[in-house]
Each structure stands twice: as structure tokens, then as C-alpha cells.
Amino acid sequence: MTRDGSANQFSLGLEEETDEVESTRALLDQLFIDSRLYTQSKDYKELLDFVVRLPNFAPFNAMLLQVQKPGMHFAASAHDWETLFGRRPAAGARPLLILWPFGPVALVYDELDTIGKQLPRDVRSFYAQGPIDRQRIETFRSLMESHCIHSRTIDAGDLRAGSIRLLGRPENPKDSSHYEMSINRNHSAAVQFVTIAHELAHLFLGHLGQDSKLRIPDRRGFTHQQDELEAESVAYVVSERNGVKSASETYLANFIKESATVPNLDAYQVMRAAGQVETTLNLGRRSKFQESKARR
């Protein structure tokens, strides 16, 4: 084959490769547009952090995993889960696709879609253990609904436990505002309970603004760190008082170790919010005096 012929073949190969890259890029761009992904800076930063956290995957594949299941923590093939961690994909587990050299795709599984040996506590982003089952979670969701706190479950990875947002304020402050809470359906019932307590804490602490009907003050404007510290404090109090051990204790212990002072922390608001969470979820304990009055 002549030198010219080799060059032509090489040029043709480059064109084919370029077409494949452009086709893949166009497909991914369309996926972003259709799903409205990464329109906010925090979502984009989460994508970058995820790619950094998975050095065992090529950056492009790490991005594909995050697109398919936002909030993932770990992913591995069925073979690696079995040989390295003593775990296997659960029945009906949904595989995730990555591109594979010399082949079209390969299948990997999120940690939450596997069963087997317990992973070390420091490997898991969220953990909790206690006497909470799925039926009680549904009861809690029903109780929240009666206060116009709607909830939905989401298919997300381990790093995304839940969130709460304001849906709308009424013209009359005496009427109810409406909120929506997201809960990771892949987490255990105990973890979901801590998530519910944490997200309700943001509401009752006033991080979403004033709600006259629910007697919530407007305490917006603090740093994200302080908001999370307050909400985690409430979650810790509510969880421990109801027999659930969670990562909140570790979070708070690490914060105390790293910070000599707690600026602007209002212990009264934390305790008030914890009481409101317990009341909303019908977890409040009544004293014998209160019970005797109720029977009269």
C-alpha cells in the first residue's frame, strides 16, 4: 500500500471517529435538554464532584452514571460487587450503562441496588438503624399531607437523601402554604425517617421563610452550613428520642471537633422545631398530668 493510500485510510478513520464522537455528543446534549439537567450551578458542581469521586471510571462514564442516577455514591459491575464486597445485584435491580472499550456498553450497579455483606459505616453516606418500617413511613407521609406538606419518592443514589421546597404561599396568611418533600425511595425506612425529620426541621426552623398558620418565623439568610447544622441537630434530637441511631451524631461530633464556637446558633429555635417535628409526626409524648387532663 502506498504512502498516499495509508494516509487516505488514516484520514477516513479519523472522519469515522469524529462522526461517532459528534453523534455521541449530540445524543448527550439532547439528553441534557430533554431532562433539563444541570441548569443550576449547584447541580453542575455536583456533577463535577461526582466525576472526581469515581477515579475508577473514565470521566465520560462517570458523567453518564450521574445523568442516569443523580446522587449516586458507588457503582461497580456485578463481578466486582461479588468479589470485592461480597454483595450482588438485588432481584429486579436496574443496571446502569457505561461505554466499554472494544464493545458497545457495560452494565454496572449502584450500591443501593445490591444486597449482601454490610458495607463499612464510613463507606455509606447515610445510615440509620431503629424501629421504623415502611408502614410507619407511609403514616408519617399521611400526617404531613394533612398539614399541606406533600411528599414524593425519588429514584436517586445514596448521596441524595431528600429535600423540601415551597410550592406556594396563600394570599391570606391564615390559610395554608403548600410544600413538597422529596424522599429517596432506595433508602431504608430508618434512613427515610431521619430524612423526614431533617427536611421538616428546615421548614420549622424558618429556613424556607415565614408561615403564619404553622407559626414558623422567617429565619432565612444564614449560611448553608448553619442551616444544615440546625437541621441536623433537630434530626438528631428527634431520631434519638425515638430509638433511631443515625449519622447525625457523627456529623455533629465532627462539627464540634472542628469548630470551637457555634455562631448565631439559636438553641431555642432548634428545640422548638424538634417539638414541632414530633407533633407533626404524632411522636410527642404526653406526661401523666396531660393524660389525666385529657381524660376529664
| SS3 letters across the chain | CCHHHHHHHHHHHHHHHHHHHHHHHHHHHHHHHHHCCCCCHHHHHHHHHHHHHCCCCCHHHHHHHHHHCCCCCCEECHHHHHHHHCEEECCCCCCEEEEECCEEEEEEEEHHHEEECCCCHHHCCCCEECCCCHHHHHHHHHHHHCCCEEEEEECCCCCCCEEEEEEECCCCCCCCCEEEEEEECCCCHHHHHHHHHHHHHHHHCCCCCCECCCCECCCCCCCHHHHHHHHHHHHHHHHHHCCCEECHHHHHHHHHHHCCCCCCCCHHHHHHHHHHHHHHCCCCCCCHHHHHHHHC
Are residue 101 and residue 17 in the same domain, yes or no?
yes
Does residue 92 form part of some domain?
yes
Does residue 228 form part of some domain?
yes
Tell me: pLDDT of 126 over 90. Answer: no
Are residue 75 and residue 181 in the same domain, yes or no?
no
The pLDDT tens digits of the residues spanning 166-190 come to 999 999 988 999 999 999 998 999 9
Domain boundary among 117, 139, 164: 117
Are residue 159 and residue 87 in the same domain, yes or no?
no
Does residue 289 form part of some domain?
no
Average pLDDT in the 233-251 region? 84
Domain boundary among 62, 95, 117: 117
Are residue 105 and residue 229 in the same domain, yes or no?
no
Are residue 107 and residue 245 in the same domain, yes or no?
no
Does residue 122 form part of some domain?
no
The pLDDT tens digits of the residues spanning 208-228 come to 999 999 999 999 998 888 898
Average pLDDT in the 242-248 region? 84
Range of the domain at 108: 3-117
36-40, 168-172, 285-289: the lowest-pLDDT one: 285-289
Are residue 94 and residue 158 in the same domain, yes or no?
no
The pLDDT tens digits of the residues spanning 128-177 come to 889 999 999 999 999 999 999 999 999 888 778 899 999 999 999 889 99
Tell me: pLDDT of 256 over 70. Answer: no
Are residue 178 and residue 148 in the same domain, yes or no?
yes
Are residue 163 and residue 96 in the same domain, yes or no?
no
Q: What is the pLDDT of residue 289?
A: 34
**Percent of the chain at pLDDT above 70?**
72
Are residue 167 and residue 267 in the same domain, yes or no?
yes
Report the domain count for the chain.
Answer: 2
Does this model's pTM top 0.85? My answer is: no
Average pLDDT, the chain: 79
Are residue 262 and residue 139 in the same domain, yes or no?
yes
Q: What is the pLDDT of residue 129?
A: 86
Are residue 217 and residue 236 in the same domain, yes or no?
yes
Are residue 187 and residue 275 in the same domain, yes or no?
yes
